[in-house]
Amino acid sequence: MMSNIRHNEGKSFSHLVSASEPDWSREICRQYWDPSRKLLMSIRAYQRVLKRGGLLGKIISKWCVLQHRFWSVVAGTDIPLNCQLGGGLLLPHPNGIVIHPDAEIGPNCLVFQHVTIVGGVKIGGHVDIGAGAKVIRPVTIGDHVRIGANAVVLDDVAAGSVVVGVPARVEAE
């Protein structure tokens, strides 16, 4: 075991999480009181029911809307039902997260508290967004990007980059 740890020292572990295939196990509720995962579950259920349609779909969708409203208040987030979220999204501390319905978030992303993402933003797979970060222009963020806490992203970000600061700039490695 120790040999594996020494072998991987100084290497990035970004290759261990896919930027294209969602890891749905990241969204499984670990216990009943798991507001962020329950919120995601209500969003996913609503979107599935809309695709089904019909009278039963309308009735179930109203139940999903009630669940979404409840978990949005409990979690303190503003993530609409019609947003485009990739699978495997993690919201460890969901308070204050605001995502515009026209924003696209790729699979296996990690979003911390008080993050704001405006419309027209396209976020790639396996992107980590630190607490308080703002993406306030329609930009494209590549795969395996890390956005630092309180960073304000105004320009496109290339895949594999680390951006920090106000305005966000690529960090030299």
How do residues 127-152 score in pLDDT, each as one tens digit?
A: 999 999 999 999 999 999 999 999 99
How far apart, in whole angstroms, are the C-alpha atoms of residue 53 and residue 59? 10
Q: Choose between 1 and 31: higher pLDDT.
A: 31
CA atoms within 13 A on the CB side of 34: 15
CATH match for 22-170 among 3.40.50.300, 3.40.718.10, 2.60.130.10, 2.160.10.10:
2.160.10.10
Please give the average per-residue pLDDT across 14-28, as a whole number.
78
Mean pLDDT, all residues of the chain: 88
How far apart, in whole angstroms, are the C-alpha atoms of residue 129 and residue 110? 6
pLDDT digits (tens, 9 = 90+) for 89-136: 999 999 999 999 999 999 999 999 999 999 999 999 999 999 999 999
Contacts of 41 (CB under 8 A, 6+ apart): 27, 29
How far apart, in whole angstroms, are the C-alpha atoms of residue 61 and residue 49? 6
What local confidence, expressed as pLDDT, does residue 6 receive? 37
